[in-house]
Amino acid sequence: MKNTLIAVAIVALLIVGGARVYTAGPSEKGPIKIGFIGPLTGDAASFGVVAKAGVELAIEEINAAGGINDRRIEAVYEDGQCSPTEASSAASKLMNIDKVTAILGGTCSTETSSFAPAAMQNKTVVLSYCSSAPSLSNTGEYFFRNYPSDLLQGKFMAEYAYNTLGARDMYIIYHTTDWGTGLKDVFSKRFQELGGTVVGVEGSAQEERDYKTMLTKAKASDATFIYAPMYPDGSSVAMKQAKDLDLKARFIGGDTWDDPKFQAAVAMLGTFIYPKLESPAADDFTKKVQAKTGMEEVVFCAAHAYDATHILANALSEAGTDPDKLADSLRATKYNGLIGHVEFDEHGDMKGGSYVARKIENGKSEVLR
Amino acid sequence: MDIAVQITLNAIIAGALYALAALGFNLVYSTTRFFDLGYGAYAAVGAYMVFWLYKGLELSLVPSILLGIIAAGVIGFLIETVVYRPLRARKASLTVFLIASLGVLTVIQAVIAIVFSSQFQTLSRNIGEIQTYTLWGGVITQTQVLILAAGLLIMTVLGFTLRYTMFGKAVRAVADDSEVATIVGINSNRIIGIIFFVSSMIAGLAGIAVGFDTGIQPTMGLALLLKGVIAAIIGGLGNVYGGVLGAFLLAAIENAGAWQFAGEWKDAIAFAILILFLLYRPQGLWPK
């Protein structure tokens, strides 16, 4: 009987103590903790790794300048693997165990959409530096992104295809994630508005590795162009299988094709065109990221992540860690950074932004004029 | 009709891969009566061995593949000796075997991911210059033809061995009842060891084939295994020829479905077929 009482008392203490730890919010003293979610391994790792380096560089600068109101800023880095399940558990850990004030992330729209609703409920500010799916615009009042919604990218590609490439018929194969579906919808709407025809649409999971039948159908449709908003790994395999099938159509893709791994993989498979957000050159920053990561090409999310960290730090020093004040301060941001001028609209989306077309040939990417 | 020919060719290529997976799986199942989930891991071992030898150490193609297949076989044999044989001696139940094989699959996958990273990789060294052949309007690559040829060769050799040689008779005896086989004088453990070696080699070949056709990832074994299991169940679990026919049938229905509906339905169709068979014809189309 006595042993049972002791056991019950210990369990009760643990529950009460645990609950106190679990429900307490971010601390008011000590360093400010922010979370980072991005793919450090897996499909879009090229983007996540440089983004992490961008955040690290920004944090070093901020702390060297005295921190935020005399508090150091610290980041906890979690691997989202461009997968909803991983990103969601990463976010849970950041919010409940590390008690971060805000989350910078994710890179992939699938990551962000998996944890952003929970973060809204938890009143944790989320600033995504790279997620572009249009569906994220309605996430909530604590959500911001310094990367434009794909309403812009899809429209740009449709107009580029119709006006510059002279495409009149288009086949679409895409990955059925938030990002891919968003682009597919925006692109086909704009392309058809301009007068083009979408002759067929085929979707597949991001992890699919056998595109032969989809590509066969595209071949049979005799479309001259194929729009393929897909992630790097799937795209590499699909392009190879397209070559095997002797598919003559030209491929245009999404911003994920900025990945050097993809560009190397399709080196001998033809010429590919994709859009990239225009941003002023920042050689100094690029060199620092190259030194940190050892990567030769620094793809776009690095500068955005760097800017996002500074934007967040500025808002924190002005408004403190209270979520509502922080969100209001972020909404009023006017910041000039590596990617240019940043302002957020009422949905938290970045205002402005413009794309340029680039072509991939022989393993390298260059701007198309 | 161009597209029908190409879809058929796609189905044949996919069918050959599934058939290899089903072949090895059936071999193990018919002799030991258990669902070896670790089978998927041997496919990954074969593929990654070739990745290391062919792309890492830059050996030439044929030796790399042979070594990859043998490596897969050796790993399979070791697992059987170290993990399954003691369990068999203890008369462990089939559930225990299943869980143990799941453990084997997980451990091997994790080790591969640690050593080689979980990035998706390709096996071929020069992607641009692939020889293709045109058949009645459809296109097939040299790699795919080789996979098909290898698959058919293995099926014939295996079938012949099982039916006509002393070894084949011993295997069938062990499959029937391993205790009685031991009483009659057959060394059951040795036969089972050899079966594991052979079936793991086949798994390794399947993994290498998938690697050359699409690419490799540490988790590739599970997907291949599942398709092989479905093919085996459709064809009749334990029936070696049935599994092969089941594999081609599965590939045909999958690709026809992808053609008529959308590509996203492929997996859903495969598993729907599995459920239908388990409900209405669990013994498969060609029960032993």
pLDDT tens profile B4-29 = 888 888 888 889 889 989 988 888 88
pLDDT at A19: 60
pLDDT of the residue at B56: 79
Asked whether residue B126 is domain-assigned, the answer is: no
CB of B128 less than 8 A from some CB of A: yes
User: Chain A: nearest CA to B132, how far in angstroms?
Assistant: 7
Query: Is A246 in Cβ contact with B259 (below 8 Å)?
Result: no
Interface check B126 vs A, CB under 8 A: yes
Q: What pLDDT score does A190 carry?
A: 93
Q: Could you give all domains of chain A from N- to C-terminal order, each with its CATH number?
A: 32-150+280-353 (3.40.50.2300), 151-277+356-367 (3.40.50.2300)
Is B35 part of any domain?
A: yes
Token output for B140: 């097939």
pLDDT at A230: 94
Structure tokens given for A341 = 């001028």
Among chain B residues, CA nearest to A362: B128
Q: What is the pLDDT of residue B178?
A: 74
pLDDT at site B125: 64
Whole-model pTM: value is 0.79
Within 13 A of B222's CA, how many CA atoms are on the CB side?
A: 13
Indicate yes or no: CB of B10 within 8 angstroms of CB of A216: yes
- Residue B117 pLDDT exceeds 60: yes
pLDDT digits (tens, 9 = 90+) for A44-59: 888 898 899 999 999 9
Is the ipTM above a cut-off of 0.95?
no
Greater pLDDT, B65 or A298 = B65
Question: Could you tell me what percent of chain B has a pLDDT over 90?
Answer: 17
- Residue B123 domain-assigned? no
Task: Dump pLDDT digits (tens) for A305-334.
Answer: 999 999 999 998 888 888 899 898 888 888
Domain membership of residue B170 (yes or no) is yes
Any idea what DSSP says for residue A335? E
Q: Is residue B124 part of a domain?
A: no
pLDDT value, residue B142: 79
Residue with the larger pLDDT of the pair A244 and A51: A51
Contact A203 B129 (CB under 8 A): no
Asked if pLDDT for residue B248 goes beyond 60, the answer is yes
Write the pLDDT tens digit of every residue in A7-24. Answer: 788 887 777 766 655 555
* Tens-digit pLDDT profile for residues A267-282: 888 889 999 888 776 7
Question: B135 in a domain, yes or no?
Answer: no
Quote the CA–CA distance of B31 and B175 in Å, as a whole number: 4
Interface residue B262 vs chain A (CB under 8 A): yes
Q: What percent of chain A has pLDDT over 70?
A: 96
Residue tagged 């390709």 (tokens): B122
Count of other CB atoms within 10 angstroms of residue B196: 29
Helix (H) or strand (E) holding B64: helix B61-79
Q: Which are the contacts of B54, defined by CB distance < 8 A and separation ≥ 6?
A: B60, B61, B64, B65, B123, B125
Considering only the beta carbons, identify the residue of A205, A213, A236 that sits closest to B7: A213
Total domain count, chain B? 1
pLDDT > 60? residue B156: yes
Give me chain B's average pLDDT, please.
85
**Which of B213, B217, B227, B250 to mutate: most A Cβ within 10 Å?**
B213
Residue of A nearest to B119 (CA): A42
Q: Which residues of A touch B128 (CB under 8 A)?
A: 243, 267-269
The per-residue pLDDT for A28 is 66
Residue B15: which domain range? 2-116+141-280
- Secondary structure of residue A271 in the 3-state scheme: coil
* Distance of alpha carbon A357 from alpha carbon A355, whole angstroms: 7
Burial A259-269, CB ≥16 within 10 A → b, else e: bbbbbebbeeb
Share of chain A residues as helix, strand and coil, in percent rounded to the nearest 5: 50, 20, 30
Name the least confident of A161-170, B38-47, B124-133, B262-271: B124-133
CB B155 within 8 A of CB B27: no
Interface residue B3 vs chain A (CB under 8 A): yes
Q: Which residue has the tokens 């924190």?
A: A316
The CATH code of the domain that includes B110 is: 1.10.3470
> Is the pLDDT score of B129 beyond 70?
no
Whether B125 and chain A come into contact, CB under 8 Å, resolves to no
Is any Cβ of chain A less than 8 angstroms from the Cβ of B129?
Answer: yes
How far apart are alpha carbons A256 and A275 in whole angstroms?
9
The answer to the question of residue B270 being in a domain is yes
CB atoms within 10 A of CB A176: 17
Place of tokens 């530096």: A129
Q: Does B258 touch chain A (CB under 8 A)?
A: yes
Taking the Cβ of residue B264 and every Cβ of chain A, the question of whether any pair is shorter than 8 Å is answered with yes
CA B101, CA B87: separation in Å to the nearest integer? 11
Task: Identify any residues that bridge with A272 across adjacent strands, giving them in sequence order.
Answer: A360
How would residue A364 be classed by pLDDT, with cut points 50, 70 and 90?
Answer: confident
pLDDT reported for residue A369: 64
Inform me whether the pLDDT recorded for A226 exceeds 90: yes
* Chain A, nearest residue to B120 by Cα: A233
CA distances from A275 to A50, A200, B122 (A): 19, 22, 26
> Per the domain annotation, does B132 fall within a domain?
no
Question: Inter-chain contact A245–B6, Cβ cutoff 8 Å?
Answer: yes
Closest CA of chain A from B81, distance in Å: 34
Question: Is the minimum CB–CB distance between B8 and chain A shorter than 8 Å?
Answer: no
pLDDT tens profile B20-77: 899 888 888 888 888 888 889 999 999 999 988 888 787 778 888 889 999 999 999 9
> Residues B187-242: pLDDT tens digits?
888 888 999 999 999 999 999 888 887 888 888 888 889 889 889 888 888 777 88
**Cα-Cα-Cα-Cα dihedral sign, residues B199, B203, B209, B213:** positive
Contacts across the A-B interface (CB distance below 8 Å) = 84
> In chain B, what residues touch A236 (CB-CB under 8 Å)?
120, 122, 215
**Given an 8 Å threshold on Cβ–Cβ distance, is A213 in contact with B126?**
no
CB proximity B142 to A under 8 Å: no
pLDDT score for A45? 85
> Is B221 in contact with B107 (CB distance < 8 Å)?
no
How far A345 CA lies from chain B's nearest CA (Å)?
36
Smallest CA–CA distance from B258 into chain A, residue: A213
Taking contacts as CB-CB distances below 8 angstroms, the residues of chain A near B55 are none
